Amino acid sequence: MQARPSFDVGDRIQVSGYTGEVLSISARTTALETPDGTRVHIPNTQVLGSIVVVYTAFDSRRASIDLSVDPMADLDAISHAFVEAVSGVEDVLADPAPVVRARGFGNGTVELQVRFWFGPDTHSDIAVTDEAIRALQRIINKEGISLPAPQLIIERQPAPSGAGSTSAGDHSEPTT
């Protein structure tokens, strides 16, 4: 591992269910500091047998937030508002710029995905996504954008003949 590691000290990686910054790579273990301040030593035999995700391998990383909007809404205006909101988040990169994509139709909705990029030095993708969600919530409230609640459709169906009847003459439908 020390001769040809796929990551270096200082990289942010995920391996064997742990995510953190690589503190050291020795002949026997790789030590990580997790976001909650815990030090984890993972045996290199386990590291070699696992998929390793290196979050700091490139200049930027992408995150996405999915939203459902009213199908009668002005998608161009909403997209513009969402891009402006996410662009104002401190760690969101201007290049590549945030974008909103229409992904399809839901149950009485149009499904949108807000995509944005942030740098590898950003300590937590969770924190950047949290701030982006908060910025989107502020613009949704400010602009009065309608986000329809999920709909659940319940249909009553007649019981099959003879099913659930208490007497031969009872033809009422059961309620659910």
At 91-146, the pLDDT tens digits run 999 999 999 999 999 888 999 999 999 987 666 778 899 999 999 999 999 999 98
Q: Is the dihedral of CA 40, 41, 47, 53 positive or negative?
A: positive
| pLDDT at residue 71 tops 60 | yes
- What does pTM read for this prediction? 0.66
Contact 109, 70 (CB under 8 A): yes
Kindly state the tokens that stand for 107. Answer: 């149950």
Q: What is the percent of the chain with per-residue pLDDT over 90, rounded to a whole number?
A: 64
pLDDT at 163: 52
Q: Which residues contact 37 (CB under 8 A, 6 or more apart)?
A: none
